[in-house]
Amino acid sequence: MTRPIVTLTTDFGTSDYFVAAMKGVILSINPEVNIVDITHGVMPHDILDGALTIGQAYKYFPSRTVHVVVVDPGVGTERRPILVASDTHYFVAPDNGVLSSVYDQTEALYVWNIISEHYFRQPVSKTFHGRDIFAPVAAWLTKSWQTASFGEPITDFVRFGIPKPKANGNAIKGIVLRVDQFGNLITNFKPEDVPALLNGGKVTIRAGNATINQVVPTFGSAPAGQPVGIIGSSGYLELAVNKANASRTLGIARGAEVTVELG
């Protein structure tokens, strides 16, 4: 029997006791769990950023992995804790839309409002449900795999749309979704939005102070210092500068507008 895997995705950072408390709670319930950090560097309170992160990461894990996602500015208020099962993975999170990108990638979807308080750590704090609700529910789930025992099925869970590019005449307007560790600007353009990006057609990309005409296959094939487009590892158009920081070079960050013009 393989050890169950529980992943953690939060905006807690790694300098406080928050993440450790969640790990301790999980291991106290099921010491066999293999806990894997996805990241604790989600931007504070930023549900979209959390949604993008878990949406990119979860699919690389084995079936039956339990993903705990805590980006939870409404902790302690009326927002519900939920347990989600797809065909292959489980998710435990607040019902605030942080699983929206997961929903977009999942066919069969079962969602429960978590109400079985005997699985909670008592007393339940009003400010740290990661420790008192989400972590213990994930740990208990790895012992029983009985999703239905945690609450009631619901269908009105919160779901928002990941921003998509919009056509405007000959131009398509999108945005920078994230800036990665290297300063690459991850846009919300997918090749299906602009097929010319993949088939070598002519495009002009405008972003910040740059006008980009080149879409290259690898970072290393870009001329030094010159901004280029590249279809990145998660399938989005990225703006990059070979061995340099595109966010700094172009003078833009998350949320900035990106325009792709055809021809």
The contact set with a copy of itself (CB under 8 A) reads: 2-3, 5, 7, 11-25, 27-28, 31-32, 34-42, 44-45, 53, 56-62, 65, 73-77, 125-128, 131, 178, 180-183, 217-221, 230, 232-234, 242-243, 245
b/e for 6-24, b at 16 or more Cβ within 10 A? bbbbbbbeeeeebbebbbe
What's the min distance (Å) between Cβ of 205 and a copy of itself?
A: 17
CB 108 within 8 A of CB 87: yes
Task: Tell me which amino acid residue 115 is.
Answer: I
**Sign (positive or negative) of CA dihedral 131, 137, 138, 140:** positive
For a copy of itself, give the closer residue by CB, 38 or 203: 38
For a copy of itself, give the closer residue by CB, 84 or 96: 96
What's the min distance (Å) between Cβ of 96 and a copy of itself?
A: 10
For a copy of itself, give the closer residue by CB, 14 or 144: 14
What are the CB-based long-range contacts (under 8 Å, 24+) for 56-59?
A: 56/101, 56/234, 57/7, 57/9, 58/7, 58/89, 58/91, 58/102, 59/89, 59/105
For a copy of itself, give the closer residue by CB, 146 or 218: 218
The phi and psi torsions of 74 (rounded to 5 degrees) equal: -95, 20
What's the min distance (Å) between Cβ of 36 and a copy of itself?
A: 5
Tell me the HSE value of 38 on the side-chain side, using a 13 A CA sphere: 26
Chain centroid offset of residue 152 CA? 25
> How would you classify the pairing of strands 34-39 and 81-85?
unpaired
What's the min distance (Å) between Cβ of 125 and a copy of itself?
A: 5
DSSP classification of residue 215: B
What's the min distance (Å) between Cβ of 220 and a copy of itself?
A: 4
For a copy of itself, give the closer residue by CB, 12 or 157: 12
For a copy of itself, give the closer residue by CB, 89 or 172: 89
| Residue 31 CB burial class (10 angstroms; 0-12, 13-18, ≥19) | exposed
What's the min distance (Å) between Cβ of 40 and a copy of itself?
A: 8
